[in-house]
A = this chain, B = another copy of it.
Amino acid sequence: MPRRKREGEPFETVSRERVLRAAVALVDERGIEALTMRDLAGRLGIEAASLYNHVSGKDDLLLGMADLVIAEIDLPSEGMGWREAMRRRAMSARQLFARHPWAAALIDTRMQAQPSGLAYADRVLGTLLRAGLSPAVAGNAFLVLDSYIYGYERQRSILAREDGGDSTDTAQEVADAIEPGAFPALMQVAAAYAEEPFDEDAGFAFGLDLLLDGIERLLPAGQPQKRP
């Protein structure tokens, strides 16, 4: 039987790239737990078994998806100052997480030796080396920055809501759920955020700038970088 063609879609031959893109679209729409080989195959108009012509298994699929979205993060260009470059890629990563809420969890367990991930690491490290850091210190700075960038997203997403409510609603729910007097400090903080919403961007920038300040102090003297 010939492949079923889905209406409106121009015919395209199935390829690894197209499998990965379909998987990303599926997970964007229905969440990571809805990703099954059968459903993914259905989207491509083939059977589940046929996917194994393009990916070696589900693990390879997830690896490929992680690498595909890493390519969406803006990489530092050569002309940019290192601090501006690091800030930009952090913001670009956060925009990526807004488009693909599942990406942070996938990337930081599966950033392995895939093409885009290697390019990402090379460009970030290159920027830090050119700024004057030693290779070992550049590696440490990279690890520390990415720990914070991906870690913040994961912590933030615990507090985020699936419904349309904002952070004041979450805070109010927490405050309501605590029996009076049990967790006074938590209650006090929840009450504060129920009144004035938590600014996620400012909260992120606070920690990021602290780390960037510290990295800047490691630079050899005579290479001052102005802060924005």
- From 129 to 158 in chain A, residues with beta carbon under 8 angstroms from any chain B beta carbon are 129, 134-136, 138-140, 142-144, 146-152, 154-156, 158
Are B139 and A146 in contact, with the CB atoms below 8 A?
A: no
Q: Which of A112, A138, A206 has the most CB of B within 10 A?
A: A206
A121 within 8 A of B: yes
A160 within 8 A of B: no
The answer to whether B206 and A140 touch across the interface, beta carbons within 8 angstroms, is yes
Cβ-defined partner of A207 (8 Å) among B150, B174, B214: B214
A153 CB, min distance to chain B CBs, angstroms: 8
Check: A11 CB closer than 8 A to any chain B CB: no
Query: How close is A183's CB to chain B, nearest CB, in angstroms?
Result: 4
What is the size, in residues, of chain A's interface with B at 8 Å between Cβ atoms? 57
| Complex CA distance for A209 and B215, rounded to whole angstroms | 12
The residue from B108, B126, B178 contacting A118, defined by CB atoms under 8 A apart: B178
Chain multiplicity (copies):
2
Evaluate contact between A158 and B108: CB separation under 8 angstroms: yes
Judged by a CB distance under 8 angstroms, whether A196 is at the interface is yes
Which parts of A175-217 form the interface with B (CB within 8 Å)?
177-178, 182-186, 188-189, 191-193, 196, 198, 203, 206-207, 209-211, 213-214
Which of B144, B177, B203 contacts A143, CB < 8 Å?
B203
**What CA separation (Å) do A122 and B186 show in the bound complex?**
5
Given contacts A136-B198, A147-B154, 8 further A-B contacts (CB under 8 A): A118-B182, A125-B185, A136-B196, A140-B198, A140-B203, A143-B203, A147-B152, A154-B154
